[in-house]
Structure 1
Amino acid sequence: MFIQLNFESDDPIYTQLIHQIIEGIAKKKLLPGDALPSVRAMAADIGINLHTVNKAYQHLKQEGFILIHRQKGVVIHPEGVAKADTVYMESLQKNLRPFIAESIARQVSEEAFLKQCRKLFNEINEEGETK
C-alpha cells in the first residue's frame, strides 16, 4: 500500500492516515469499491496502534469516503465520494482561512499563494488522470 507516515511530524498519525487515503482516492490509486485492509491488518502493516487506524477509518466513514461492512470489511465508497456542496465549500473556506492569514502575515503574495495552490492541485489531479 502507498501509505507513508512521518512519525516525526507534528501532525497526528490518524490525521496523516486520513490525508493519505483521501489523496489515494484523489489520485485514483483507490477506486470506488476497492478494499482497504482491516483495522488490525492496516495497524500491523504500518506499525501503529489499531485504535489510531480505527479513529482514521471512523472519520473517513463519517465523511463518506469509505464504508465499513461486517462481512465485506472496509471499502472505498462504491458510489464514489459525494460532490462538493454548500456545507463542504463552507468547511473549505473555514479550513483555508488560517493558511491564508498566516501567509499574509509572512508576507506571501496572493500570486505566490495561488501559484502554490495551483501547483499542488495540478500535481494531485494529474497523477489521478494518468491512472
Structure 2
Amino acid sequence: MLIKIDFQSETPIYIQLRNEIIKGIAKKQLLQGENLPSVRQMAEDIGINMHTVNKAYNLLKEDGFINIDRRKGAMIGSMQNIITEDFMMKLNEEVDALIAESCCRGMSEKEFIDLCKEKFNSYK
C-alpha cells in the first residue's frame, strides 16, 4: 500500500498517516491480521520521526483499527462492530460542519449528496 503524506499540509502528519491507513483498510488493501511495518520501518519509509508513527499507531489502536503486540507488532484488527457512540458523535459533528460550509459556499444538497455517494462508493 502506498501512503501519501503532504508535508505542506496544515493537517498534522500523524493524522494524515492515520487516515491513509484507514483508507487502506476500507479499500481492502490492508486486511485483518496483516502486519503493518514496525514504527521504525514506517518512519524510515516515509521519512518522518518515529514518534509521529507511534502517535498514529496509538490513535489507530484506540479506535480499534489495529492491535499492537510487543512480539508481533502492529496488526490490522477486526473491523466488526466498531461503530461506537463516540464515533457517531464525531461523525455527526464533522458532517454538520461540512454541510454548513458547503451551504455557505453555495453547494446544493444534490451536489453534496452526489459527492458523498461517489466517495462512499469508492470504498466498496
Contact 1:64 1:81 in 2 (8 A): no
**Structure 1 stretches of 4+ moved >3 Å:** none
SS at match of 2:75: strand
Q: Which residue of structure 2 lines up, in the alignment, with residue 43 of structure 1?
A: 43
Over the residues paired in the alignment, what is the CA RMSD in angstroms? 1.3
Contact 1:33 1:75 in 2 (8 A): yes
Structure 1 residues 72-97: Cα deviation after superposition (integer angstroms, max 9, x where no partner): 011001x3353424442222111111
Fraction of identical pairs, as percent: 49
Q: Which residue of structure 2 lines up, in the alignment, with residue 103 of structure 1?
A: 102
Q: Larger deviation: 113-122 or 4-13?
A: 4-13
Q: Provide the rounded CA distance (Å) in 2 between the counterparts of 1:67 and 1:83.
A: 13
Letter of the 1:19 counterpart: N
Contact 2:34 2:75 in 1 (8 A): yes
Shift of 1:101: 0.7
For these two proteins, the number of residue pairs brought into alignment is: 124
Higher relative contact order (CA 8 A, sep 6+): 1
Extract unaligned runs of 5+ from structure 2: none
Letter of the 1:50 counterpart: M
Contact 2:64 2:82 in 1 (8 A): no
Letter of the 2:31 counterpart: L
Contact 2:5 2:16 in 1 (8 A): yes
TM-score, normalization: structure 2? 0.93
Closer/same/farther in 2, CA of residues 38 and 58 from structure 1, 3 Å limit: same
